[in-house]
Amino acid sequence: MPTMQALASTDKPRALQLLDQVEFRKFQERRHGEHQLYNQDLQDGQEEDEDELSHAGSEEEDEDELSHVHGEEEDEDELSHVGGEEEDEDKLAHADGEEEDEDEHSDDDEEEDKMLNKPADDDSTEVAEVAPMYLQVSEGDELESESELESGRRRRRRRRRRRRRRRRRRRRRRRRRWVGGRRRRRRRRRLIDVGAVVGDVVQFMSQGLACIGTAAEFTSTGYSYEIVPGAVSMNIGLSVGSGQSLDRLVRGHPPSAWISVDFGFAVGITAKLTWSGVGLGGGVSCGASGCGTYITVAAIGSVNLPMVTAACPFGAALGAATCAQAFGGGISAMCCNINLQTGSNDCR
């Protein structure tokens, strides 16, 4: 009982779970109902006693009736511990009827007070005795309930662990799919595509900038004319020379040679004997691979020597132009070669 009282005071829902809910509810109804009937009987008995004092019986009959009532109450106490709900209700009704008969035939107020006080004490003892019967729980039942609760907790823990394992497996599968599956192949394709694009860009830039930094040496014979004395000069004539890019020389390719009819402009310092500045040249040349035309922009430097040669068919002078032979070299900044046979070009 102390264990049950402590449990009911601390954890009421758990204490109710250990009891039979149906029987417990019936006990509560019966307990509260008895107190209400008892109070009502007290009021009715007092009113009837005031009216029936003149018709009181003998003391022996009252004592017999009281002893009979006590016997009935003792029987009710015994049956409350053993019998069912229907027998308890019948005995309570019979006890109420006996109490009414006793009230009708009582003569003395003192005897009536005794009759009224004794059932109250009996009811309190009955309630005190009945309550433990419904609330009493054996130690074995309590241990069983605790074991059931513990087993329920274990089951819930197992379920949680299983759910966590399933979630971890799903995450691992997703990671594997991302790394080794279709998404990984897509990533490889993207890398390959990006690499191909980068290669194309590099090749395009190398082709576009292939002419930059190309070193060339030349020799040309023709008529030289100064458009702006000391600043701008023009040259038209027959030229023979060779040219090779630094890249091709490093790779071991042989130098190339050509002969051409060309023209050129030079802007910078253009004296009669020397040119130094930026030149623009173009012409038609023929080599081992065929004939073509070209245009070149380069930084040049040359020496012009006046002479008389067969390369100047109109003599040593043609108006303001004089026949001269130039020797020099340059570093190209832009070039454009056009193949006259195929029409292709590589302007860059």
Give the model confidence (pLDDT) of 274-297 as tens digits.
767 777 677 777 765 677 777 777
pLDDT digits (tens, 9 = 90+) for 105-159: 545 555 555 554 544 444 444 444 444 444 454 555 666 677 788 888 888 899 9
Residue bearing tokens 């020099």: 328
Q: What is the pLDDT of residue 161?
A: 92
* Alpha-carbon span 299 to 294, nearest angstrom: 16
Q: What is the pLDDT of residue 134?
A: 46
pLDDT digits (tens, 9 = 90+) for 292-343: 777 777 777 777 778 777 777 777 787 878 888 777 777 776 777 777 777 7
Which run of H or E residues covers position 172? Answer: helix 139-180
Instruction: Give φ, ψ of 234 to 5 degrees.
Output: -130, 145
Q: In this structure, are residues 142 and 15 in contact, taking their beta carbons and an 8 Å threshold?
A: no
Report pTM: 0.32
Q: Token pair of 226, please?
A: 């100064």
Query: Quick one: average pLDDT of 81-101?
Result: 50
Query: Quick one: average pLDDT of 258-269?
Result: 65
Map residue 213 onto helix, strand or coil: coil
Q: Would you kindly state where each structural domain of the chain is located, as residue ranges? A: 2-137, 215-339
Q: Count Cα neighbours of 214 within 13 Å in the Cβ-side half-sphere.
A: 25
Q: In this structure, are residues 312 and 222 in contact, taking their beta carbons and an 8 Å threshold?
A: yes
